[in-house]
Amino acid sequence: MVLSMAVLVGHRALLQAFRVKATGHDSVCRLAAAFCSRQYAFPGKVSPSSRLNGPRAGTRHYSSDSKEDLRVRYLDGEDAGIVVVGINRPKAKNAISKNLVKMMFEAVEDIKKNNKVRSVILCSLVPGIFCAGADLKERAKMHQSEVGPFVSKARALITELGNLPVPTIAAIDGAALGGGLEMALACDIRIASNTAKMGLVETKLAIIPGAGGTQRLPRVISVSLAKELIFAARVVDGAEACRLGLANHSVEQNNSGDAAYLRALELAREINPQGPIAIRMAKLAINQGIEVDLSTGLAIEEACYAQVIPTKDRLEGLAAFKEKRRPQFKGE
């Protein structure tokens, strides 16, 4: 029993109703219950299990001419439920192109439909780079009329990434600039190496962040700090990003250049054993509750809590506690 993120698509109208129409706790509770009451069952779709990059990595190839701009690995064994989405455009510093946007949309849709996924790690397969932002060489070849629709599609992709129902972790082992940082900001958690470089640098090009940066950065750090970073197009390293609250953790980079990824994998392994429906409901309650007043947020939490009460996982958790054993949650 899994809540579809399709609920989120229509959440704006509901939240407007929260703000304008709700009068008293009972009214808010009724609205929140409606918000969380729809339940969806997804088929357990798993990617083809061609074995690349190690014994626990299933890699999907989306098209024969993509040159592997994106590699998606559904881990198995003890790491089953963890999906690693790796950007792989070494010649373009992982810049966001039309093809990359298309492939990432496909990857996000596959993940969204798969109720076996417990967490997602977004990382780079190119040493020293997370994502350098928009592919400006490709952009320069676009007609002016093409730029707006492309930016809109990239913005929609990042919104969909943010709307994934499971925890998402950005592993930033290199430069995350412009749209690259906007992708990371759409993730729930950011882990950066101390050598990583992060910044919304669009004002250097006489434009502004166009894929959510002006909205997500102030919500992650303070409004005044976000203004300073955006106005000055300032780039900070991983340690400074952690101090500002832009990154949850800063780790010392290793010789392989994947320290942030390894820390992200550790965190995903911490999340993996927990109740998957509970994790999804917790994410939903946090994401929706933070946008409204406390009373409405508490009602959203109450409605989300109601979704976990009838689950088999909740009964398994109680039984495991009583029997002093590790619970075996199935997402049911």
51: Cβ contacts below 8 Å, ≥ 6 apart = 57, 58, 59
User: Would 1 be classed as within a structural domain?
Assistant: no
pLDDT digits (tens, 9 = 90+) for 198-245: 999 999 989 999 899 999 999 999 999 999 999 999 999 999 999 999
**193 and 261 share one domain:** yes
Higher pLDDT, 151 or 218: 218
Return the pLDDT at 136: 76
Residues 193 and 110 reside in one and the same domain: yes
- Map residue 222 onto helix, strand or coil: coil
Among residues 271, 286, 310, which one ends one of the domains? 271
pLDDT at 37 over 80: no
105 plus 229 within the same structural domain: yes
pLDDT at 66: 54
Return the structure tokens found at 223. Answer: 């409004």
| DSSP label of 295 | H
CA distance 261 to 329: 26
| pTM for the model | 0.79
Residue 34 has a pLDDT of 44
pLDDT tens-place string over residues 64-111: 345 689 999 999 999 999 999 999 999 889 998 888 999 999 999 999
Residues designated catalytic: 134, 179, 182, 202
**CB distance 279 to 118 below 8 Å:** yes
Q: How many CA atoms lie within 13 A of 158 on its CB side?
A: 25
Within-domain flag for 311:
yes
Mean pLDDT in residue range 51-57: 39
Please give the pLDDT value at position 67: 65
Are 217 and 232 within 8 A, CB to CB? no
Give the confidence band of 312 by pLDDT, cuts at 50, 70, 90. Answer: confident
One domain for residues 111 and 34: no
For residue range 101-137, what is the model confidence (pLDDT) as tens digits?
999 999 999 999 998 999 999 999 999 999 998 877 8
The count of residues in the chain is 332
Count structural domains, the chain: 2
Residue 28: what pLDDT? 43
| CA–CA dist 1, 163 (Å, integer) | 18
> Is the same domain home to 16 and 102?
no
Same domain, 25 and 98: no
- Which amino acid, 137? K
| 50 domain residue, yes or no | no
CATH assignment at residue 200: 3.90.226.10
Confidence class for position 248, pLDDT limits 50, 70, 90 = very high
Largest CA distance in the chain: 66
pLDDT bracket for residue 281 (50, 70, 90): very high
The Cα–Cα gap between 98 and 120 comes to 22
Domain of 316, in residue numbers: 6-41+277-323
Is residue 162 a part of any domain in this protein?
yes
pLDDT on residue 134: 82
pLDDT confidence of residue 330: 81
User: What is the C-alpha to C-alpha distance for residues 203 and 128, in angstroms, rounded to an integer?
Assistant: 23
- Note whether 124 and 263 are same-domain residues: yes
Is the model's pLDDT at 8 over the cut of 50? no
Same domain, 105 and 215: yes
Q: Is the dihedral of CA 203, 206, 211, 216 positive or negative?
A: positive
pLDDT at 2 over 60: no
**Considering the domain boundaries, does residue 230 fall inside one?**
yes
Same domain, 260 and 307: no
Q: Are residues 245 and 300 in the same domain?
A: no
- Reported as a pLDDT band with limits 50, 70 and 90, residue 145 is confident
Q: What is the mean pLDDT of residues 28-36?
A: 44
Per-residue pLDDT tens for 152-203? Answer: 888 899 999 999 999 999 999 999 999 999 999 999 999 999 999 999 999 9
